[in-house]
A and B are shown apart, each in its own frame.
Chain A
């Protein structure tokens, strides 16, 4: 029983960590622009295809993963430049619709130019093996997922505290106009936010794929919906909230799947969302409600 619990706990942290990274990616952009970027899921999917493409060129996974992250970061910055910057001063609804449009366009492009069928992503053997800890066998991919999440969170925290552009991003989330009064270029802050969100979506995608070894045009859709839920529980726009919300959602999902009686399993998602609703009834602005004066 204990070993089952430990195993499920690692799974919960692994899934929760991935949700946390995705929710952070959404929150970084939302905190500054007030935009929920639903195209975030398409960036995840793009990561998967870069991995497939790189493997086809004979690149090993350890080289393909950073390459994918770089490509997706550049893609996110490009997306901001061509799709979101022209509507930056428009209403929140316009930006939201733009992000849906981008998400659908990218998904169609993946279907048309690649394939509607899942593509196999070959994983290195160190990810498909299991590690025995105290007699309990745990998937290396799960452990890597937890470790990578922790490392990324530490690095992000340092970036937001130690660099001027990181400070500027936190400042812009609170008061965008005054951030510009510091002589910091608005476009630079926003481009950095998109680059960061691209990086976070790429890392999350790699962790996601490490559990599934395939990518299809719809891959990013569900995880990003979950990340949106996570960011909402956490408090939209709060980075700490996004991490807490992501972890909480992952933990709820995994423990429910592990411990619900068989007859209740079909209601797994309904119960998860029910708990989410209860959290929001108790705390309508989420676990951590941020304050802000956004870019317009």
Chain B
């Protein structure tokens, strides 16, 4: 049974149907990408999974338990956490304070200390700048901090919403390297991306959303060779080098 199962998810903002019946599943240890253009309903789907926006209908099941009706706080405590779009670190809090809040749900101070040491090993730049306000970090460093902060809760599943958005190309590259490393550590990840080519390079499977619905799904290899994907998102024909 999948770690996360989303069935027939619908989300409305007033009269707008942002998400209209999304089905998706993520197995433990998998990296799954959700692709699609702006306004396809990707971010809304993520927010609905963690309860930041209410689901109008549909079923959300994480590790055998329904998430419907649970608060964001309860969902995060249950081991599912979201790195929101736009990084959203707490700018006036220091790097160390941001990380401490990431571990707010954990009671064992010694274990939190070990996680912090691990995080600083994984992100040396955060160790260097631990006493600096997060707002003084560069965009790429803030994205690292946002991911690191989420990892401090030791999530069983990590949702990443557009981690590469608004970052310079070399920085984007390093963020995808980071996701690859998390993948090697066995971290289950649901990744929303507009950068389809890069996402398909690191994902096991992917879903493509348009107008609030899943229009295509398959393994990353299948989707890389799909004409539809190639034309819509990769800017070229299959078989040609992709420059997204």
Question: Is B93 in contact with A181, judged by CB distance below 8 angstroms?
Answer: no
Instruction: Output the nearest chain B residue to A293 by Cβ-Cβ distance.
Output: B88
Question: Is B104 in contact with A168, judged by CB distance below 8 angstroms?
Answer: yes
Q: How far is the CB of B62 from chain A (nearest CB, A)?
A: 14
Are A174 and B92 CB-contacts (below 8 A) given A182-B76, A182-B153, A186-B73?
yes
Question: Is A175 in contact with B104, judged by CB distance below 8 angstroms?
Answer: no
Q: How far is the CB of A290 from chain B (nearest CB, A)?
A: 8
Quick one: which of A170, A174, A183, A291 contacts B104, CB cutoff 8 A? A183
Question: Is A171 in contact with B101, judged by CB distance below 8 angstroms?
Answer: yes
Secondary structure dominating the interface of A: helix
Quick one: which of A168, A181, A291 contacts B84, CB cutoff 8 A? A181
- A170 to B91 CA separation, bound complex (whole angstroms): 10
Interface string of B51-73 (1 = CB under 8 A from A): 01000000000000000000111
Of the candidates B73, B82, B149, the one having the most CB atoms from chain A within 10 angstroms of its own CB is B73
Question: Is B90 in contact with A174, judged by CB distance below 8 angstroms?
Answer: yes
Quick one: which of B97, B150, B153 contacts A167, CB cutoff 8 A? B97
Of the candidates A170, A174, A175, A181, the one having the most CB atoms from chain B within 10 angstroms of its own CB is A181
Give the chain B neighbours of A63 by CB distance below 8 A: none
Quick one: which of B73, B88, B91, B92 contacts A183, CB cutoff 8 A? B73
Are A170 and B73 CB-contacts (below 8 A) given A164-B104, A184-B101?
no
Give the chain A neighbours of B90 by CB distance below 8 A: 170-171, 174-175, 178-179
Give the chain A neighbours of B77 by CB distance below 8 A: 183
- A179 to B77 CA separation, bound complex (whole angstroms): 13
Question: Is A164 in contact with B100, judged by CB distance below 8 angstroms?
Answer: yes
Give the chain B neighbours of A181 by CB distance below 8 A: 50, 52, 72, 76, 81-82, 84, 150
Give the chain B neighbours of A7 by CB distance below 8 A: none
- A167 to B77 CA separation, bound complex (whole angstroms): 18
Give the chain B neighbours of A161 by CB distance below 8 A: 97
Give the chain A neighbours of B7 by CB distance below 8 A: none
Interface string of A123-166 (1 = CB under 8 A from B): 00000000000000000000000000000000000000100100
| Number of A interface residues in the complex (CB < 8 A) | 19
Of the candidates B72, B77, B105, B150, the one having the most CB atoms from chain A within 10 angstroms of its own CB is B72
Residue B140 interfacial (CB < 8 Å): no
Question: Is A185 in contact with B100, judged by CB distance below 8 angstroms?
Answer: no
Give the chain B neighbours of A171 by CB distance below 8 A: 90, 93, 101
Quick one: which of A167, A175, A186, A291 contacts B100, CB cutoff 8 A? A167
Residue A180 interfacial (CB < 8 Å): yes
Question: Is A179 in contact with B101, judged by CB distance below 8 angstroms?
Answer: yes
Q: How far is the CB of B160 from chain A (nearest CB, A)?
A: 13
Question: Is B88 in contact with A184, judged by CB distance below 8 angstroms?
Answer: no
Interface string of A35-78 (1 = CB under 8 A from B): 00000000000000000000000000000000000000000000
Question: Is B52 in contact with A177, judged by CB distance below 8 angstroms?
Answer: yes
Quick one: which of A164, A167, A180, A291 contacts B73, CB cutoff 8 A? A180
Interface string of B133-167 (1 = CB under 8 A from A): 00000000000000001100100000000000000
Provide 24 A-B residue pairs closer than 8 Å at the C-beta atoms, listed in order of the A residue: A161-B97, A164-B101, A164-B104, A170-B90, A170-B93, A171-B93, A174-B90, A174-B91, A174-B93, A175-B90, A178-B84, A178-B88, A178-B90, A180-B71, A180-B73, A181-B50, A181-B52, A181-B81, A183-B73, A183-B76, A183-B104, A184-B101, A184-B105, A186-B71
**Chain A residues within CB distance 8 Å of chain B:** 161, 164, 167-168, 170-171, 174-175, 177-186, 291
**Chain B residues within CB distance 8 Å of chain A:** 50, 52, 71-73, 76-77, 81-82, 84, 88, 90-93, 97, 100-102, 104-105, 149-150, 153
Task: Kindly list the 7 A-B residue pairs having the minimum CB-CB distance in the complex, ordered from nearest.
Answer: A183-B105, A183-B76, A180-B72, A171-B90, A182-B101, A185-B73, A183-B77
